Amino acid sequence: MKIKQYIIGFLAGLLVTAAVFAAPAPYAVSVDSYAAKLPTLTAYYNNTRTFRATFFDNGIVTDTTNYTTYLYWSRAVTNTPVYTSTVAVVGNTTNGTSDFTFTASQLATNGIYVYEAGLILTSNSNRVTYGQGTFTINRSL
């Protein structure tokens, strides 16, 4: 009986530890092709960060079935972009939502930068830029 109690206590402790160290939920962002500027995104120095972007075309959800979505940041418009390390469709492609995850090493800097989001047509790789916005990487305290 005591062994069972120890095992239950140990497993409960593991569960609490996992909850404490779990990554934050994805940061939701709306990417509308008709927006003058995309919303500001914020990440933290040397921390993994996931952005959950939903693509819209003038307020209507974009069906991304025949596209690859992208979101990247760069030090300037003319610099080489830092692409996301992983892109994952959330649900199905008809809801226009993808998760973009930057690794800690991709965010090992701080400052104010630019990001771009859009679609790439699967059949011919044509790019459809939905917009650009400010990408801020803050130092952790």
β-strands 111-121, 127-138 pairing? antiparallel
| 84 Cβ neighbours under 8 A, 6+ residues apart | 70, 71, 72, 100, 101, 102, 106
Look at residue 103 and give its three-state secondary structure: coil
SS3 123: coil
Distance, CA of 73 to CA of 10 (rounded, Å): 42
CATH number of 24-138: 2.60.40.3350
How large is the C-alpha radius of gyration of the chain? Answer: 19
Express each pLDDT in 81-100 by its tens digit: 888 888 999 999 999 999 99
Which SS3 state, helix, strand or coil, does residue 84 take? coil
pLDDT tens series, the chain, 141 aa: 566 554 455 444 544 444 445 667 999 999 999 999 999 999 999 999 999 999 999 999 999 999 999 999 998 878 788 888 889 999 999 999 999 999 999 999 999 999 999 999 999 999 999 999 999 999 987
Judge whether 119 and 93 are in contact, CB under 8 Å. no
Given a contact cutoff of 8 angstroms between Cβ atoms, the answer to whether 24 and 47 are in contact is no
Beta bridge partners of 82: 73
